[in-house]
Structure 1
Amino acid sequence: MRYSSITERLADLGSGKWALHIRARQLKASGADIIELTIGEPDLPPDAALLAEAQRAMNAGRYRYSNGRGEPPVVAALAARYARRRADVTAENVLCFPGTQTALFAVMLGLTEAGDGVLVGDPLYATYEGVIRSTGAHQVIVPLRAEHGFHMQAADLEKAITPDCRVLLLNTPHNPTGAVLTKEDIAAIGEVCRKHDLWIVCDEVYEELIFDGVFASPFDMPELAERTIVVSSISKSHAAPGFRSGWAIGPAEFANRLLPVSETMLFGVQPFIADMTAYALTHEIGTSAAMRVSYRSRAARIVAALEDAPGVMALPPEAGMFILLDVSATGMSGEAFAWKLLEEEGVAVMPGSSFGEEAASYVRVSLTVPEQAIDEACNRITRLAVRLSGGQGLLKECQA
């Protein structure tokens, strides 16, 4: 039987990147003592007021067909939110989607096609390559280097540009590194994009999880308004990943041209979830603030606990819910280290290779588990590191 070419383009970009996570879940289901530090699933539940609003909306009959752009209450809430960042934003700039992933897929479908290049930083979020290749486009790597704090450098971006490049897929705050681009970073990157007439698609899902400093975005710069599209959701900010509620905000012409694409895919999102999202965007909800405190503390806890783990170096993030460990000094790749850690110590972390070639010597550790689990995971990581060093090193208990 025949299949379309998209099945070939994406053949190796599905769940294979999450093979270790899937195996860890299988082991845990069979009764093994597994500490799961793989995915960014907040351990804090959604605020009770959000769940109550979703239930109220369902009870009020808000479970019928929606429309392609989004339910009026959430479109209005999003327009107001982004108008506070840039005064020219209206409902014409808004499109709603079931989560950031769907928004990215639709946006890329509207901007690229076979033969086009999409610039993206490496390390990169694990699904970006699939989102890019789904349209027939190909990714063009911009290396994100540890010596620059994984901040994209304008010079590296310009060096990577080829004649077929049409889009820069930017991510700030960044997954998996936790890097947060400054206003100066953005301005320099934006100037390169203007010079080469590139779209900027900016994934800002971790916007509300910055530990220190100020959030900066190309969306907020008037000179970049005509070429910038933001995608985001309530998955991380409000600890509601399973509700699948996201959006894309961009130029009105872009939104109007993409609307038929969105309608062909989805024709709307669930009205009761839209109402919950509108409530989340228009009320003071303390979820993000609580997560910021928790994740920053857990990251610092890991850095301190692994200070004497031979061959392992924790790199403090600036935002988000992950921390990278550089394991290159153990003599193992991140992939090999992660599998050995799961098999011998029952700790599941993500191999850096799932996030690109530049991350091959790292593993990504989720901060979304309680401190007791963090402490025990640190002890197990240290045990493995000591064994790999030939027993040279001091086992250090995580701080109480």
Structure 2
Amino acid sequence: MRFSSVTERLAGQGGAKWRVHYRATQMAAAGRDVIRLTIGEPDVPAPDMLQEAATAAMRAGRTGYSDGRGEIGLRRALADRYGSTRGRPFTPDQIMCFPGTQTALYAVMAAVAEAGCEVLVGDPMYATYEGVVRATGADMVPVPLDPARGFRMAAEDVAARVTPRSRAILLTTPHNPTGAVLTAGDIAAIGEVARAHDLWIIADEVYEEMVFDGVRFSSPLADADLAERVVAVSSISKSHAAPGFRSGWCVGPEAFTEALLPLSEVMLFGNQPFLADMTEAAIRAGSPVAAGMRARFAGRAERLAARIGARTPLRVHRPEAGMFALIDVTATGMDGDAYAHDLLEATGVAVMPGASFGATLTPMVRVALTVGDAAFDRAIDRIAAHAETRCNQHV
């Protein structure tokens, strides 16, 4: 039987990157004491108000077909929210709703890139980005994110990789997996590159409400001079601890959403009205859980850095936001992949090899900050004891 070329372009995307996670799952099922620091699930359940709002909407009969753009109530709520947080007006027609950030990103990318195009993406990157770009037929061009610069994308590094085939720059701020947050100056400089070469800026802002104290979030949507070329994607998955509800959106110029509508209707023909009503309530009420998650994740990152730094020569990169921290494991004599497998088998602690997110993180591993404090502190002790042994062997 024959398949389309997209299946070939996406072959090998995904599964191999998660070998450590799958192995940890097998070990746990076999009865091993395993602490999984691989996946960024929120550490609290979705708020009761979401379930109550969705249930009430279903009982009210909100189970029919939906507007292809998304329900007007939700789009109005999002336009109000973006208007108040970005400092310029937005209309409901600038919003389109999707089942989660991932679907929104897939649709947005399909609307701006195709075979023969290039999309510039920071390296490291979220694990699905390469597949999202390749699905369109476009080529992904990695832009190394310098650890010495806090892993924030630099405009000069973007400009050095622009070609006549370039079509878009994919930004992630706050960033997964590094926790970096772009400054307003970073965004302005990258915006100059985008204007000079007529490029789209696609901004994944799903971690917006996970920014730690003392750090300021900036969005390219706030820059009126970039308004015609910026499209942002987000959802309630992180802000409201609700990844399973799959409720997201994109926001951009009206000309963009108008062009995207036929593609969205071919994919989805609208999403569930009862989930739209739930999400509208969530957006208007704000998150009752985001502040707690921010504080816990920041605290765990600080404890990880302090204890690992005091006991071992490993280096922890402190995030500015999000659900993850990075550890440079060079001192063990292993790269991140070998280290992650060795750590799991020796101690039962599962972390993600950095190379799963791009070549820049080959010497590192990504640690999820999303397990409870007691389990997280046990994991720190196991990581430190393991490092003491391995680093001494490497000397």
Q: Quickly name the TM-score band, shorter chain normalised.
A: over 0.9
Deviations 1:177-212 (A, max 9, x none): 000011111111111111111100000000011112
Which residue pairs with 1:242 in the alignment? 244
Give 1:163 shift. Answer: 1.5
Structure 1 segments (4+ residues) deviating >4 Å: none
Per the alignment, in what secondary structure is the counterpart of residue 303 of structure 1? helix
My pick for the range that moved more, 306-315 or 111-120, is: 306-315
Q: Taking structure 1 as the reference length, what is the TM-score of the superposition?
A: 0.96
The letter of the residue matching 2:29 is A
Number of positions where the alignment pairs a residue of Structure 1 with one of Structure 2: 393
With the length of structure 2 as denominator, give the TM-score of the two structures: 0.97
- Displacement after TM superposition at 1:391 (Å): 5.8
1:160 aligns to what SS in structure 2?
coil
Report which stretch shifted further, 80-89 or 189-198: 80-89
More off after superposition, 21-30 vs 250-259: 21-30
> What is the aligned partner in structure 2 of residue 72 from structure 1?
72
Between stretches 61-70 and 292-301, larger displacement belongs to 61-70
Aligned counterpart, 1:372: 374
Aligned to 1:144: 145
SS of the counterpart of 1:184? helix
What amino acid maps onto 1:37 in structure 2?
L
Structure 2, unaligned runs of 5 or more: none
Aligned equivalent of 2:106: 105
RMSD of aligned Cα (Å): 1.3
Q: Deviations over 1:244-290 (max 9, x none)?
A: 10000011010011011011011111111111110110013321111
Aligned counterpart, 1:93? 94
Q: Is contact 1:310-1:330 (8 Å) kept?
A: no
Out of 229-238 and 278-287, give the one that drifted further: 278-287
Identity of aligned residues (%): 55
Residue 309 of structure 1: CA displacement? Answer: 4.0
User: 1:195 is matched with which residue?
Assistant: 196
**Rounded Cα–Cα distance in structure 2 between residues aligned with 1:385 and 1:105:** 40
In 1, Cα distance between the equivalents of 2:366 and 2:267?
33
> What does the per-residue CA deviation read over 1:371-395, in whole Å, with 9 as the maximum and x for residues that have no partner?
11111111111122122123699xx
User: Is 2:357 the counterpart of 1:330?
Assistant: no
Any unmatched runs of 5+ in structure 1? 394-400
Counterpart of 2:30, as a letter, is S
Q: Deviations over 1:49-89 (max 9, x none)?
A: 12211111122222222221101211111111112224331
SS of the equivalent of 1:121 reads strand
Distance 1:157 1:30 in 2: 47
- The amino acid that maps onto 1:107 is V
Q: Determine if the alignment matches structure 1 residue 251 to structure 2 residue 248.
A: no
CA distance in 2, matches of 1:249, 1:271: 19
* Alignment-derived partner of residue 290 in structure 1: 292
1:186-335 aligned within 5 A: 186-211=187-212, 212-335=214-337
* Pair 379,392 (structure 1): closer, same or farther in 2 beyond 3 Å: farther
- SS of match in other structure, 2:392: coil
Checking the alignment, whether the CA contact within 8 Å between 1:119 and 1:142 is kept in structure 2 is yes
Q: In the TM superposition, what is the alpha-carbon distance from 1:292 to its structure 2 partner?
A: 0.9
Q: Does 2:136 align with 1:129?
A: no
Q: Within 1, Cα distance between the matches of 2:293 and 2:383?
A: 24
The one-letter amino acid of 2:338's match is A
**Higher deviation after alignment, 380-389 or 346-355:** 380-389
Cα deviation, residue 218, structure 1: 0.9
Match of 1:347 in 2: 349
Separation in structure 1 between the aligned mates of residue 336 and residue 68 of structure 2, nearest angstrom:
42
Structure 1 SS opposite 2:249? strand
